[in-house]
Amino acid sequence: MESTSLTTIVQSADSEGTAWQAANMARIEDRAASLRQAEDGPLFADLWAGYIVVVTKAEDHLRLWLMDETAENTQWVQSDMDLRDPLRLVLGYTQAMTLALLWQADPERVLVTGLGGGCLPLMLHHHLPDVILDCVEVAPAVIAAATKFFPLVVDDRFQIHLADAKEFLAAQPTHQYDALFLDLFTDGGNTPAHLTDEEFFQLCHSRLRPDGILTMNLHSGAENHVERLERLRQIFKTVHVCNIHYAVDVVFATDQPRQRRFDLLRRAAEQQKRFRFHFPRAGWIAKIAD
């Protein structure tokens, strides 16, 4: 009887993944090339729940904004995509959030809450060709803008759900996800209160598998920021905080043991070689508080 070695199976799987990624990259680049032809300036604007959802293009950068309709302007961009390299995460906090893969290198199922322009789920979908990816977005105007103007490739592994993040998680089975990427902020960097309360964090914990990881970006200047971190520490055994700059922290919460910085750096180097990310990651490890 003919036998098949484990090495052959792995090589075959890698080949299939590489072939899919090559085709996927071609689709993304084709869409990005078309978008680069658009004139600079506003491309989309729509109202949603007291906010203006805006897409702008400038010098090959496509940006999505969620601006308070009473404000004159905003500095808080939701998504920034370089159309010359759509898989390069431009915003530092999204680069840092991918460090969650240091705790879950081969996730089977991932949830991203907060679509924006889809930069983070687009990257995860491409570099993790076996993962099932759920993306939840509460604003219909954001989904309309993202799917029309950003080079998203929605398929049987990548689904976008119109829902409130808390309600969506409540409807999922326990231990459903290996990783939660919580990207939930509005203008001014504000995260809705019901998405940082104890009930929500308990819900996140119950929907993660036992060795799962939660990562979340939070406005570090918020009055209740210390309380939010304390809630996470009461629910998860280990919480790491990575300060991106004066206004933003990226938090990693898990029941896995606390990781040494050296081990994180070693794993980051291995993953950079394995996944060939279009952006650096190791530098963010230095910003994780001990």
What's the mean per-residue pLDDT of the chain? 92
Q: Is 62 helix (H, G, I), strand (E, B) or coil?
A: strand
Chain segment 223-241, per-residue pLDDT in tens: 999 999 999 999 999 999 9
Q: Domain count of the chain?
A: 1
Check pLDDT > 90 for residue 7. Answer: no
Banded model confidence at residue 15, pLDDT cuts 50, 70, 90: low
Q: Is residue 161 part of a domain?
A: yes
**Is 63 in contact with 117 (CB distance < 8 Å)?**
yes
Q: Is residue 178 part of a domain?
A: yes
Distances (CA, A) of 132 to 177, 185, 271: 9, 24, 19
Chain segment 149-206, per-residue pLDDT in tens: 999 988 999 999 999 999 999 999 999 999 999 999 888 888 999 999 999 999 999 9
Q: Is residue 5 part of a domain?
A: no
Chain segment 236-274, per-residue pLDDT in tens: 999 999 999 878 999 999 999 999 999 999 999 999 999
pLDDT on residue 12 = 42
- Cite the beta strand spans of 95-196 per DSSP E: 109-113, 132-137, 158-162, 177-182
Chain segment 46-68, per-residue pLDDT in tens: 999 999 999 999 999 999 999 99
pLDDT on residue 189 = 82
Q: Is residue 175 part of a domain?
A: yes
**Is 143 in contact with 137 (CB distance < 8 Å)?**
yes
Per-residue pLDDT, averaged over 105-134, amounts to: 97
Domain that holds residue 225: 86-285
Q: Is residue 58 part of a domain?
A: no
CA 177, 155, 281, 143 torsion-angle sign: negative
Non-local (6+) Cβ contacts of 263 within 8 A are none
Q: Is residue 233 part of a domain?
A: yes
pLDDT on residue 131 = 97
What percent of the chain shows pLDDT beyond 70? 94
Banded model confidence at residue 133, pLDDT cuts 50, 70, 90: very high
CB-count burial class (<10 Å; 0-12, 13-18, 19+) for 93: buried
Q: Which residues carry out catalysis?
A: 183
Residue of 6 and 125 predicted with greater confidence: 125
pLDDT on residue 16 = 57
289 token code pair: 């508080």
20 token code pair: 């899919």
Banded model confidence at residue 13, pLDDT cuts 50, 70, 90: very low
pLDDT on residue 6 = 30
The enclosing domain of 106 has a CATH number of 3.40.50.150
Check pLDDT > 80 for residue 287. Answer: yes
Of all helices (H) and strands (E), which one includes residue 66?
strand 61-68
Banded model confidence at residue 290, pLDDT cuts 50, 70, 90: low
Q: What is the pTM of this model?
A: 0.92
Q: Which residues of 226-253 are buried (b: 16+ CB within 10 A; e: fewer)?
A: eebbebbeebbebbbbbebeebbbbbbb
Range scoring the smallest mean pLDDT among 41-55, 67-81, 205-219: 67-81
Q: Is residue 26 part of a domain?
A: no
Distances (CA, A) of 251 to 98, 120, 205, 241: 11, 16, 14, 5
pLDDT on residue 246 = 74
Q: Is residue 144 part of a domain?
A: yes
Residues forming beta bridges with residue 218, ordered by sequence position: 249
